[in-house]
Structure 1
Amino acid sequence: MDDSIGIKIKKLRKERKLTLKQVSDKTNLSISFLSQVERLKSSITLESLKKVSEALDVNPSFFFSNPVKKTKSTIVRNALSDLNNRPNSFIYKDLGGNLENPLFSPLLVMLKPGDNRGSSYSHKGQEFLYVLEGTLTVLIDEEEHDLHPFDCIYLDSTTPHNWINHTDSDVKFLCISSLPI
């Protein structure tokens, strides 16, 4: 994952006037681990990032966006172009641009063969998944659903869920999630 995530976590935590202990209590992640992430000494899993984002009251996509001037509209061209060149196995690309006060977060996600985003978890909001390439397995409350290209699913994110690639090919899909209000 991106090294700037730790820097963004620390900045946001300080803006919210929270201590590492307070974030640790809200996330059940150790203070030392959180400190190492903030100091770029350790990387964070998507599952842990989700816990931190809920504790800091932001969508996880916040940590993948570029802090530039907010706009009224954004065009993202050739969003797939650099997806295959990244070293991480689980890849996010924020498609939201920099709209001010967005109501939802669009992400392009790529899972390499055998990847998943950790154990199932739940969070506030809703998700819409649309498969572009490959076969995505969505686990919802221990029930698996295979989605093929051009299939989609809309789910209540408060239900425990996970994304899995059981195949030997890349899976690319859109994930559009509502932001906490």
Structure 2
Amino acid sequence: MQDHLAQIPSRIKELREIMEISAIDMATDIDIPFETYSRYESGELDIPISVLYKISHRLGTDTTVLLTGEDPRMDTASVCRGGKGVEVERYPGYEYSSLAYNFKNRTMEPLLVYLDPNKAAAAPVTHSGQEFNFVVEGVVKVTVNKREYILEAGDSIYFSALLPHAQSAVKAPSKFITIIQE
């Protein structure tokens, strides 16, 4: 699966070049420093999922194309069987699995997130839109704008993703579903 993730930067570069967009213009258009963008496109840095959304929007393509190299095919319903989501490991401390990668023109992104308490905690992030988290397994600490919430299986939280936020497992590996609307 790591080979799959390593292909994302090359897909981005290829599409950008086909569209005759310079790397400097792309960085400007998605509002990140050129040096950071360059490190994303070279594969030196993992690309945050929120940045993948911005890049796919700028390239006029679906995020699934960047993730898998294929166009999503479904427009009425898309089923994702257990354990069959597309892996997206984009922020240190989180392991994502995209659950609706095969649905065309998504307006939100549902992801299954795995947290390992033995890995370094993720730094707080911000992105546009809103976010919903539903704990499936374990106990998750969700920090939103410096306030901490301890959520157990069955608990959920909805918040503005413009606020700095982070999630971490409490004591044991945990899983939660996040739905991000940009």
- Pairwise same-fold verdict (TM > 0.5): yes
1:39-84 per-position Cα deviation (integer Å, ceiling 9, x unaligned): 44x24153xx5346436547x965545624421222111237998x
Pairwise mapping of residues 1-181 of structure 1 onto structure 2 (< 5 A)? 2-14=5-17, 17-25=20-28, 26-28=31-33, 30=35, 34-40=37-43, 42-44=44-46, 46=48, 50-51=50-51, 53-54=53-54, 57=57, 62=64, 63-64=66-67, 67-72=70-75, 73-79=77-83, 90-113=94-117, 114-118=119-123, 120-165=124-169, 167-179=170-182
CA RMSD for the aligned pairs?
Answer: 3.3
Structure 1 residue 151: Cα displacement: 0.4
The alignment-based identity, stated in percent, is 22
State the TM-score, normalizing by the size of structure 2. 0.73
Which structure has more RCO (C-alpha within 8 Å, separation ≥ 6)? 1
State the TM-score, normalizing by the size of structure 1. 0.74
Structure 1 unaligned spans of 5+ = none
Q: Distance in 2 between matches of 1:13 and 1:68?
A: 17
8 Å contact kept, 1:109–1:172: yes
Distance verdict in 2 for CA 1:145–1:14, change over 3 Å: farther
User: In the comparison of the two structures, how many residue pairs are matched?
Assistant: 168
Aligned partner of 1:150: which letter?
G
Structure 2 unaligned spans of 5+ = none
